Each structure stands twice: as structure tokens, then as C-alpha cells.
Structure 1
Amino acid sequence: MDWNDILHFLTLARMKSVRAAGSCLGVSHSTVLRRVEALEAQLGTRLFDRTRDGYVLTAAGEQMLPGAERVEQEMAALARGVAGADERLAGRVTLTCCDGYVARLLLAGLRDMCAAHPGIELAINVDTRAFDLSRSEADIAVRTLRCGVQPPSHLIAQPLVPLVIANYAARAHADRLPTRWLGFEPADAQAALVAQSSHADLPCWGVFSSLELMVDAAHAGLGLVMLPTYVGDGEPQLLRLAQADIRHVADLWLLSHPDLRDNARIRTVRRHVAQVFADQQPLFDGRRGCFSHPAGADSDRPDGAQPA
């Protein structure tokens, strides 16, 4: 039985769509179908039913799934074991970040490392889901965990910086501050933050699923916004309110699999990523002076607002 056929089977079982599975694997959807059909022909049974909800495992597929996952775990462990002994400062390092602002910060901060080690190739993506480092979905992950929540015990975990939020409004609309909050999910988490804020009487409006969308909505004057200080303080078009309700709500962590502890290129990237965050500590803990705003912008600040 071909491992690649098993991998395509597992990916289709998880994604339920041949196009999504192909995108995940970096192949065409026809390749996914061809691999799965080859596996079905070899086993002499149908593994998937095609439904309105996508590709769903048959009873035979369900029976095969646990064994296929065990094979996947063994293959991943084998690959990590080989990679973990690699002492070359060359090759690809996959780094997943929790949001685009963190990714851009790392792109700038890792520039000198990339110049010093041209053999190291970075593959950076932005995704909030919990990547499975045991399946080698990424080599290094930067993830947000709520205060008091610990990362999985089987991973190498290093705390980086606090995630501190504050209240912001658009500088262009600050002569008349909005009378509502811009919404985000989960709604119950935002409701709790609003209830504990200095503007607890204001309603929440809309739902904006990313930091970038929340910033754009705030720029348009659609509402007040709660943002991490590493986002809000870096936006010249936003300013912190005087009643900013600065709160430490989470922490950023650096995660990797212990099997890759001795891999030279991954160890090097880990060290430089941690240094980038150490250098930017004031940006994350909410201290001022990290970014300069346009000259003269402070002169027309309304009462109730202060510079970011």
C-alpha cells in the first residue's frame, strides 16, 4: 500500500472536498481523486460517498481511518527523527503565525537572520487554527493563549510577550467619537470585556473576523475598537482613548516539537524569533513611544483621547 495514497485518503477525509484537499497537499483535485480511486481499487471497496456536504467516509473508510492515522503518526515521527539530526543551516523552516501583524513584524525582524543564513528558506503562513506539530504541519508556531492557559505539555513551549488590549478610535473621526463598539467573535468574550470597560453602556455592532478588518472598520469611523496594542499603537490613523482600559488578556507563545530540538536551522530560527519579540516588548506590553505619529497630530486631539 502506497503511503501517498494513504495521505490523500486522510486529507480528503479531513477536508471533505477534493479541491480543499488538493490545496492542502499542493496538488490538483484530479490528483486527489486519482490517488483515492487507486487505493479503493487496491482494497476492492469504496471508501467515500459523495454527498451534498462533500466526501463522507463509508463504513469501510471509517474502519480504515484509525489505522491510516497510526501510519501517519509513524511516518511523521520518522521524518522528525531524520530532520532532528540535521546540522545544516540550510533548508525550509515552516513558521505559522496567529495573525498578519505578527507575520509582518517577523518578516522585518528576521531580515538580518536571512541575510546571515541564505541557505535557510522561510515558509510563513497566517492561521489561527491549532496546527498539529506532531504531523509536521509546521516546524514552529506562534500562538495566542489566554492568561493562565498552558500549551500542550508534549511541545517545547516558550512564552514570548503579553497580549495587551486597549481602546482606539479613528483619528479622523475623533471630534465626535462613535457611540458603539465594533464587534468580534466570540461575542460572549467581547461582551465581558465591554461590561468591564469604561464605556460599558455602548452597544456592540457588526462582526469583523480579523484584526485587519477591525482596523479598516475603525478607520472608516464605524465604531470604537478594542485592539492589541501591537496593532493599535502601530496604526497612525488610530489613537488610544484616554480611558483605554489597558488589560492583559493573553500571551504569545513559541511552540515546536521536541523531536526537532537539535535541528540546526529550526533552532536558529526559534532563537531569532524569540529575539524579535524581546526587542519589541514595549509594543506588546502597551508602553508608549514605539511608533511616531504624524507631526502636529496631537494639537487637534479632542478631550477624552490621547496619543497612541
Structure 2
Amino acid sequence: MPRPLQPEALMTFLAVARLGRYTAAAEVLGLNHSTVSRRIAALEAAMGGRTLVRTSGGWEVTPLGRRAMAAAESIEESLRALGTDTGGDPVQGMVRIAAPEAFTSAFLVPAVSRLHRDHPTLAVELLAATQRVRQNRSGVDLEIVVGRPQVHRAYATPVCDYSLRLYASADYLERRGLPTAIDELSRHPLIYYVESSLQVDDLDRAAQRLPASPPSIRSTSVFAHVEATAAGAGVGVLPDFLADRDERLVPVLREAYAHPLSYWAVVRDGPRTTAVAATLEALHAHVRSVGAA
């Protein structure tokens, strides 16, 4: 006799299908890993086959799993509609977002803070990550990446444009002189990412346009770049939306160098949940409000 299909197993599967990891689903649902595993096993026993298959990038949904996902989303939507009809807030649960540091501080934190004020039952987790888009589900609902992503089975939308430009402190320029041409930068330490740690081709190309640097301070943190530049350690290659508003910094070779970039948002399977869709809309609204769109 086939085992009966349990609703909690179906909804647990939906969390794993969206996040790609048992551990991430367990955190969102307030469960432990073994409970998630047991519920997925029960679902597969009831459906008579595999709903998820392990890949190098996490768990991916099988054709049978897509049937289960459609059923789970239908239940989810019905529960959401019932909550709305009875005065409940449809924007609730947890949204996990991976984004670069600079974007998080300048755009993401203000956007989700306002969203949370309007929807206090919504939990948001922000994970610092400056890397290329993941090809598989990765334990997050929303990814912010630098450059137009090339990814399958995902919804991608542009968020805003910006440029990397050159900056220095007034003290540094007084000591070392103001460069008047790009080739003169070969005499100045350039403050930027650790080359071996860069995972984003567009960020790597920004440094390739500049001459080789004398020994300098390099870091995986953009805020370390800003602070080292402000402290007079050299010429920083910095996002203009951060550096232009920092009174400690002076633009260098403004007309000669700018490396244009863009931020994109990536959502697996489209912004299906109300919470993810609301987060994405809040982000776009904030970017428009500050004139960065």
C-alpha cells in the first residue's frame, strides 16, 4: 500500500527545492536536518520516486519533483490567500539574500529595513558575497551579482548601474603628487581586491585596464579599500556611489578612467513567493528613490 502524502512533507520539500540545501531549508523552517531528510524521504515514498537529485551546486528538482512543487505552491498560495482574507500579512516568513558588501550597505539595507517596518513578521538574512552567480540553487532566495548573469532556470533583472573610479586622500596627493595620466599610476600603489580571490570577470577587467602597481594594500573587502584609501595608502579603485559621498576622498583622473558596471538580481524559478517578490520590489523602489536606477 502506498504511504499517504503528508502536507508537512510537501511544504518541507518546497523549501529545499527553492533553497537547494537541506540545511538552509531547516533554518528557514525551524527544523533540524534529520527532520528535513525524513520528510523528503516520506514524500518520495508516497510519490514512488525521487523528487530531488544531488548536484555539485546543491539539490535540484526532478521531473517528478516539479509535479510536487506545483502542488506545494498551490497549497502555499491558498494559505496565503486565506491569511490575506482574514487580515493576515501575506509578506512573511524568511528571505535570504546574498549580495556584495557595498551594494548591501548602500541599497539593500535601507530597502529591507523599510520593508520590515511595513511587514514585521518578515525575517531577512543578508549574506556578504562578491562572486559570480551560482549555476545551482545555493541556499538563498535572491542573489545580487555584478554584471549580467548567464544562468539557466532563473529570473534575472537589472537593478542599477555604477562605475569603478579612482580616488585618493588629499594628504596622499600632497605627498605623492596628483597623477595626470593613466601611465603615471605605475608609480602609485593601487588599492583593490586580492587578485587571486576575484571571482567576477568584470571586476578583474577593471584592474587589467590599469598599469602594474607597486606593492600595495589589497583586500577582499570593499570597505577596507575605502579606509585604506582614506588613510593615504595609495590610489583606490572604488565604486563611485560609495566614494563620491565620502568627504575624505578626492577623485583622480576623473575624465581618463571609469569602468562601468551593473548590479543584477537573480531569483531561482522567478519571484514566486510573495515575500521574495515584495523584497525585489522594495529594492527597485529604493534604487529609484535615490536616483541610482
TM-score (ref. length: structure 1): 0.58
| Structure 2 residue corresponding to 1:124, chosen from 109, 123, 126 | 126
2:117 is matched with 115
1:81 Cα deviation (Å)?
Answer: 6.6
1:176 is matched with 175
Number of matched pairs: 222
Cα gap change, 1:90/1:151 in structure 2, threshold over 3 Å: closer, same or farther? same
Cα gap change, 1:232/1:253 in structure 2, threshold over 3 Å: closer, same or farther? same
C-alpha distance in 2 between matches for 1:225 and 1:192 = 14
Cα gap change, 1:80/1:253 in structure 2, threshold over 3 Å: closer, same or farther? farther
Q: Secondary structure at the match of 1:168?
A: strand
Q: Secondary structure at the match of 2:175?
A: coil
C-alpha distance in 2 between matches for 1:112 and 1:213 = 27
Q: Secondary structure at the match of 1:194?
A: coil
Structural RMSD (CA): 4.0
Cα gap change, 1:79/1:207 in structure 2, threshold over 3 Å: closer, same or farther? farther
2:61 is matched with 74
Note if contact 1:165-1:247 (Cα within 8 Å) is conserved in structure 2. Answer: yes
**Letter of the 2:285 counterpart:** Q
1:192 is matched with 208
TM-score (ref. length: structure 2): 0.61
The percentage of aligned residue pairs carrying the same residue is 14
Q: Secondary structure at the match of 1:251?
A: strand
1:265 Cα deviation (Å)?
Answer: 1.4
**Letter of the 1:102 counterpart:** T
| Structure 2 residue corresponding to 1:216, chosen from 206, 222, 227 | 227
Superposed CA deviations along residues 180-227 of structure 1, whole A, max 9, x for unmatched, are 3224343763552214xxxx8x64634222211111211221101111
1:109 Cα deviation (Å)?
Answer: 3.0
Cα gap change, 1:217/1:81 in structure 2, threshold over 3 Å: closer, same or farther? farther
| Structure 2 residue corresponding to 1:142, chosen from 141, 144, 153 | 144
Cα gap change, 1:106/1:276 in structure 2, threshold over 3 Å: closer, same or farther? same
Note if contact 1:98-1:126 (Cα within 8 Å) is conserved in structure 2. Answer: yes
Give ranges in structure 1 of 5+ residues lacking alignment: 4-20, 36-65, 285-308
C-alpha distance in 2 between matches for 1:104 and 1:236 = 16
Give ranges in structure 2 of 5+ residues lacking alignment: 1-8, 10-21, 35-51, 81-89, 178-187, 197-203
Q: Secondary structure at the match of 2:209?
A: helix
1:11 is matched with none
